[in-house]
Chains A and B, each alone.
Chain A
Amino acid sequence: MPARQPTEPPRLTLDNVTCERDDRVLFCNLQYNCQAGTLLQVVGFNGAGKTTLLHALTGLIAPAEGQILWQQTPIANSARAFRQALLYLGHQAPVKAHLTVAENALWLARLQGASVERLDWALEQVDMLAYRDITCHSLSAGQRRRVALAQLYMSQAPLWVLDEPFTAIDKEGVAKLEALLERHCAHGGIAVLTSHQALRVAGMQTLNLADFQPQAGASYAYG
């Protein structure tokens, strides 16, 4: 398996995290510990801050208070090691309309240092091998998302952060993805994801952001 897999088991810790947006507290004092093998689904009503939390987890934004630790080190202090261990897929598929399926999957994999040899196999897994040399602008939204999801099959990163990975994916695709997530976690990986769908994955944990809403009185910034 991957050479870069860290020897110590992966561990992601959210230490007292508070996130704000436009001076409004989205959630506060979020405390959570993801051991190796954790599959965590973040749920919450629209606007509860699911995407913001994922952005904070990846280091795209800094939380207003508290910190996020990877292997006990704040991610800001070990940016490179952390980003090598991370695979993030946002709610948009980073797929260029004027590149072919293979080209799109390839540049993303090379950018993240994933193993490029498994490209065809990965495309096969997401049922896109038949479209290998088709430019993406003729693809549907679900197919574009599949191109992005091919990264999951190429990546060696122990930590996956996925924002709505099931959007526009059909039933079979969802089932396959669930199996993949289960396998990833069984191998000691960590996956944090948001989804509006109920997932059927054994041992999945749920984090409801509604539990970390600021108290009505404490949040002067509200309104």
Chain B
Amino acid sequence: MAWQWFHRLGSPRWFYEKTSRWLVWFAPLTIALLLIGLIWGLAFAPIDAKQGNSYRIIFIHMPAAVLSLVGYYIMAIAGGVGLIWRMKLPFMVMQAAAPIGAALTILTLATGSLWGYPTWGTFWEWDARNIFMLVLLFLYLGIVVLGKVYPVRDAADKACAILALVGTVNVPIIYKSVDWWYSLHQPASIKFTGASSIHPSMLYPLLLCIVAYYCFYTLSLILYTRREVLVREARTQWVGELVGAPNNGDKSGGERHA
């Protein structure tokens, strides 16, 4: 009986109804946090002595980088749970996490190169963190593509889960090897401002931004998963009742193939 809550977690309907209640306060909270964090960081935090205003992109860049890595593990763990306990919902979470993660890596890469231009004089530098983010993007894309090309959704879920799990073994190895590669090839002209102590007036908005990003990630994961739930359960009675019209389900079912 102690496991009942766990298996209820696997019920898409339970998830949908629970999150409907959470979203009412969680969505405004996330938007508020995000706005406060970004405005604080972009407008009110003090200017950096060396980099000027361009450093401010860190408030967007750094949390995105953190979340894109964390997101990979969230995706893989969801896939693993789905494989082991044969539950539907974790697979939906996994499939929702892949495009979000891919978007976050793209955001990280884009903001990184925007920062790189005034700082390094180039949009793309073969820097360890750049390469790692790029490879992470490929890993995400692999999962997204694999999930799309499979003819049967059930098999697609399991195949993606296996790929994601193998990826989790590989991600630290990739990280280490890229790091090591960079230490061998590091061009002398580029120096990092290391792990110098960051002033609290910059640190606090950064921390707030990270918290806000975590909330934002959770929010988008919930919204994506809810969409996935509706699409996959389109033919069930409860979704039919929820949408109100009996044929509405088919419409959202067709969306996936469109």
Contact = CB atoms under 8 A, between A and B. Distances in A.
B237 A220 contact: yes
Interface in A168-223: 220-221, 223
A23 interface: yes
A220 B152 contact: no
B227 interface: no
A223 B235 contact: yes
B236 interface: yes
Contacts of B235: 23, 220-221, 223
Chain B interface main SS type: loop
A22 B236 contact: no
Contacts of B237: 220
Contacts of A23: 153, 235
Contacts, number: 9
Interface in B233-258: 235-237
Nearest to B152: A22
B216 to A, nearest CB: 33
Contacts of B236: 220
Interface string A11-39: 00000000000110000000000000000
B45 to A, nearest CB: 52
Interface in B197-251: 235-237
Chain A interface main SS type: loop
B231 to A, nearest CB: 12
A174 to B, nearest CB: 35
A151 B158 CA distance: 33
A221 B240 CA distance: 12
Contacts of A223: 235
A223 B153 CA distance: 16
A10 B236 CA distance: 41
Interface string B69-92: 000000000000000000000000
Contacts of A221: 235
Which of A22, A23, A220, A223 is most buried by chain B, counting CB atoms within 10 A of its CB? A23
Nearest to A221: B235
A27 B240 CA distance: 24
A174 B152 CA distance: 36
A71 to B, nearest CB: 25
A23 B236 CA distance: 11
Contacts of A220: 235-237
Nearest to A23: B235
Nearest to B232: A23
A23 B250 CA distance: 14
A220 B235 CA distance: 7
A223 to B, nearest CB: 7
Contacts of B152: 22
A220 to B, nearest CB: 6
A82 to B, nearest CB: 20
B47 to A, nearest CB: 57
A7 B244 CA distance: 60
A221 B236 CA distance: 7
Interface string B170-182: 0000000000000
B37 to A, nearest CB: 42
9 contacts: A22-B152, A22-B153, A23-B153, A23-B235, A220-B235, A220-B236, A220-B237, A221-B235, A223-B235
What 9 pairs between A and B have smallest CB-CB spacing?
A: A220-B235, A221-B235, A22-B152, A220-B236, A220-B237, A223-B235, A23-B235, A22-B153, A23-B153
Given A22-B152, A23-B153, 7 more contacts: A22-B153, A23-B235, A220-B235, A220-B236, A220-B237, A221-B235, A223-B235
